[in-house]
Chain A
Amino acid sequence: MENYRIIKEEIEVNKVINRVVHPHAGAINTFIGTVRELTNEKRTLYLEYDAYVPMAEKKLKQIGDEICAKWKEARVAIVHRIGRLDITDIAVVIAVSTPHRADSYEASRYAIERIKEIVPIWKKEHWEDGEEWIGDQKENKRYPSGKPGKELLND
């Protein structure tokens, strides 16, 4: 398995973690993003993710490279799942190992925020009373600068 993947199957968390195990690492931080049932009291039935797979994998690698430039000796693996995901299913796993723990927390947070900015993956919410691709002009995600940038840190 490569370190940066978009897959359709269930994500095997331990396999992602194993990509960053290293003798110089004193910490491995693992972030697991799961499908939430309630958003502001609106009930999600399931989600559907679509991606521009080759570009998404390239952008995940770019995030890993950014992390390695910022946090020395970091190792990164990110896997995002697409297709239909049910409540509690794992959508994304980020594993970061670093020599010291503070860096692994920070780098992991950085990775998820960057995913939400620059990786071409889209989420469609299927609610009890309808469905909608999130991130369209009705939602709060925009590209004010004309391209995805670091100013977009909304969740």
Chain B
Amino acid sequence: MINIMLFAGLQEKAGKNQLSIDKDEMTVNEIVAYIKGSEVNLNLTNVMVAVNEEFVSNPEQVVKSGDAVALLPPVSGG
């Protein structure tokens, strides 16, 4: 199971703070494609992915069940 954390506007749009995909291994690209094709109608333009608390720069990075995956809209702290 791959769990994906949602924050801020994505969380509100999805109506939940987490999505789950019943797979053991996926690339970041596959996760993004899966979410785009799923029933949660999320706009992922400009959204970054973090795996285990680091920004993903290679979308072919492999994510395994148990990894901490998060969708991060553009940040606006400060």
A and B pair up: yes
Q: Which residues of A contact B (CB under 8 A)?
A: 33, 49-52, 54-56, 58, 80, 91-92, 112, 115-124, 133-137, 139, 141-143, 146-148
Interface secondary structure of B, over-half rule: loop
B75 touches A116 (CB 8 A): yes
Contact with A along B40-78 (1 / 0, CB 8 A): 000101101010011111000000000000101111111
A133 touches B55 (CB 8 A): no
A136 touches B9 (CB 8 A): yes
Number of B residues with CB within 8 Å of any CB on chain A: 24
Q: Which of B7, B43, B57 contacts A50 (CB 8 A)?
A: B7
Docked Cα-Cα span, A91 to B74, in Å, equals 18
Chain B residue with the shortest CB-CB distance to A124 = B8
Docked Cα-Cα span, A115 to B77, in Å, equals 6
Q: Which residues of B contact A (CB under 8 A)?
A: 5, 7-9, 11-12, 43, 45-46, 48, 50, 53-57, 70, 72-78
A122 touches B57 (CB 8 A): no
Q: Which of A92, A120, A146 contacts B57 (CB 8 A)?
A: A146
23 inter-chain pairs at a CB distance below 8 angstroms, sorted by A residue, are: A52-B5, A80-B77, A91-B78, A92-B78, A116-B75, A120-B75, A121-B77, A121-B78, A122-B7, A122-B8, A122-B75, A123-B77, A124-B9, A133-B9, A133-B73, A135-B74, A136-B9, A139-B76, A142-B46, A143-B74, A147-B48, A147-B57, A148-B75
Docked Cα-Cα span, A120 to B76, in Å, equals 8
Docked Cα-Cα span, A12 to B72, in Å, equals 29
